[in-house]
Amino acid sequence: MSETSSSAPGVSALFSHGRLTAIPRKAARREQLLVHLKDTLFEPGRSYSEPEVNEALRTVHDDYPALRRYLVTAGLLTRTRDGGSYRRAA
């Protein structure tokens, strides 16, 4: 299985029984994971409240605050100034 052909095999290796086993420490690996989460958990053009974002992330890992923070920091989710609304970035 070649990591260079597709990021999907690499990302799937991070999961066991539909749950993320650990948040990768390496930035490139974490970025692959975050793009996967953005694409699979959040619909384009839809606004999400913080509890909705938390619930979606909680389905894959208990440390949903860290995943939410990583997604926002990476620019994959945007957040309103008051933190009340999130959107998937294009």
User: Cβ distance 76 to 38 under 8 Å?
Assistant: yes
For residue 60, CA distances in Å to 3, 5, 18, 79 come to 22, 25, 7, 21
pLDDT band at 9 (very low <50, low <70, confident <90, very high): low
Which residue did the predictor score with more confidence, 65 or 5? 65
Which pLDDT does position 74 carry in this prediction?
Answer: 97
pTM given for the model:
0.86
Note the pLDDT tens digit of each residue in 24-79: 999 999 999 999 999 999 999 999 999 999 999 999 999 999 999 999 999 999 99
Comparing 5 with 29, the larger pLDDT belongs to: 29
